[in-house]
Amino acid sequence: MKIVAIGDPHGDVAKLRKIPLKDSDLILLTGDLGKADLARKFVFTNIERRQKGLDEIKETPQFDKRFYMEIYNSSINVLRYLSRFAPVYTIFGNVESTDEEVRKREKEIKLKLPYFVSGINKMKNVEIINNRLRNFKGVKIGGLEYFVDDIWVETFKPKDYENKLKKSLRETVKAKRILDWFGNIDILVCHQPPYGVLDKVTAKFAPKHWQGLHAGSKVVLDYIKKTNPKYVFCGHIHEGEGMAKIGKTEVYNLGVCGYKIIEL
C-alpha cells in the first residue's frame, strides 16, 4: 500500500504536479491547503508596526473578503487536483476556517462568503479528519487539527496576551484529551511540529524578535514520547523541513509541498 504524505500545499498546484502520485492508495495533507499571501503579509506587517510603536493597518470588508477568497479558491483547486489520484485525508492548519467562523465573519463584514467545510464535504474522495481516527486498510491514522499550544503564547507573547493565553490553555487541554483518546496509532497527521524538533523560526519574512524561537507543540511532543507512533507528518514551520527521530518515531516536517512516500 502506497501512502503519500504532503506538506502544507498553500495553493501551489504546480509543485504538487511534481509529486509522483500515480498508483497512490491514500494521500495525507498537513493543513494550510490554500494560498494565504495576502493574509500573511497583513499579519506580519502589523506585528512589525506594533514593535515600532506605529498604528496597525485596519482591515476593510473588501480586503477581508479578498484574502478569504484567495485561501478558499486555491484550497479547492488543490483538493480537486489531488483527489483525482487517491482518497485524500486532510486536517486544518491555521489558514482554514470552520463554517461557524465563516458565518461570524460574514456578519462582521456584511458580505457573503462561501463556506469552507461545506464546500469540501461536497467533493468526492476528500475527507476532513480533524480530531478523528481512521482505519485505512489496517493502518490506524489520527488527524489533529491546528491549535494554539500555550507554550507558543508564552514564548511569542502576541497582542492581547492574557486573553490569548486563556484561549490557548483551553485549546491545549482539548488537544491533549484528543491525543489521549487516539492512544496508539500508526500515523499522526498534525499541523505544527513537536516542540524543539524541526520547529525553529528562521524565515526571513518572520518578525525579527521571533527569529531562533521554537514554535512547536509540547503536547504533540509528549504524545510522541508516550505512544511512539511509526510516523508523524507535520508542516507549519516551513523552514524546518526535514526528518528527525524521537525514539522509534520518524517525524517529518514536510514544509510547503514536500512529500514522503511510505509503503505499508
pLDDT of residue 47: 74
Q: How buried is residue 184: exposed, middle or buried, by Cβ count under 10 Å (0-12/13-18/19+)?
A: exposed
Which residues sit opposite 231 in a β-bridge? 187, 250
- DSSP character string of 207-264: -GGGTT-B--BHHHHHHHHHH--SEEEE-SSGGG-EEEEETTEEEEE-TTT-EEEEE-
Sign (positive or negative) of CA dihedral 242, 20, 143, 103 = positive
Residue given cell 485549546 in the structure block? 171
pLDDT of residue 93: 97
Q: Do residues 220 and 180 make contact, with C-beta atoms less than 8 angstroms apart?
A: no
What's 96's domain CATH number? 3.60.21.10
What is the rounded average pLDDT of the residues 239-249?
A: 97
Q: From CA 33, how far away is CA 119, in angstroms rounded?
A: 13
pLDDT of residue 5: 98
Q: From CA 137, how far away is CA 127, in angstroms rounded?
A: 16
Q: From CA 134, how far away is CA 179, in angstroms rounded?
A: 14
Number of separate domains in the chain: 1
Which residue type occupies 147? F
Q: Which domain holds residue 98?
A: 2-263
pLDDT of 114 over the 90 cut:
yes
Residue pLDDT, tens place only, 209-233: 899 999 999 999 999 999 999 999 9
pLDDT of residue 1: 95
Q: From CA 127, how far away is CA 184, in angstroms rounded?
A: 22
Tell me the Ramachandran region of residue 10: left when phi exceeds 0, alpha when psi lies from -120 to 50, beta otherwise.
left
pLDDT category of residue 39 using cuts at 50, 70 and 90 = confident
Q: Please count the other Cβ atoms lying within 10 Å of the Cβ belonging to residue 262.
A: 19
Contacts of 64 (CB under 8 A, 6+ apart): 105, 108, 109, 111
Which has more pLDDT, 258 or 54? 258
Q: From CA 68, how far away is CA 89, in angstroms rounded?
A: 22
